Amino acid sequence: MTRFLLILAPLLMVGCYYDVESELYPNANCNTPAEVSYATHVAPLVASKCAFSGCHADGDVSGADLDTYEGVKSKIDDGSLEDRTIVQRNMPGSGPLPRCEIDLLQAWIDQGAPNN
């Protein structure tokens, strides 16, 4: 009985891990709106993933202030935001954005990154 438990315990532990939903279900519908709004969609995304103390907030050492539309738009205009978050996927530093957030950001960029 003890030998059985010693074999079974590691097998049960292998099944316990954290998955990223967008990686498990890459074809899931993201419901990206036809018109993506900076204020409604992009600003909250940037605030939660990028523009906080120690990262890309006003006065931080990164030199990229993403607290404002103007700051985000400057990184869109120079191509660095799209390159780092969508192409290279090495930003944010906490790990790549989920596919639906990338789709949302790409849709906003494709619409000309309006301040609406």
* Residue 32: predicted pLDDT: 87
Task: Report residues of the chain scoring pLDDT below 50.
Answer: none
* Residue 6: predicted pLDDT: 62
Domain membership flag for residue 47: yes
Domain membership flag for residue 23: no
Domain membership flag for residue 96: yes
* Residue 18: predicted pLDDT: 52
pLDDT in tens, 51-78: 555 555 555 555 676 778 998 898 899 9
Residue 92: helix, strand or coil by DSSP?
A: coil
In the chain, count of helices (H) and strands (E)?
6, 0
Domain membership flag for residue 27: no
* Residue 94: predicted pLDDT: 77
Q: What's the CA gap between 74 and 68, in Å, rounded?
A: 10
Domain membership flag for residue 26: no
Domain membership flag for residue 115: yes
Domain membership flag for residue 17: no
Domain membership flag for residue 90: yes
- Number of compact structural domains in the chain: 1
Determine the structural domain holding residue 84 and report its residue range.
35-116
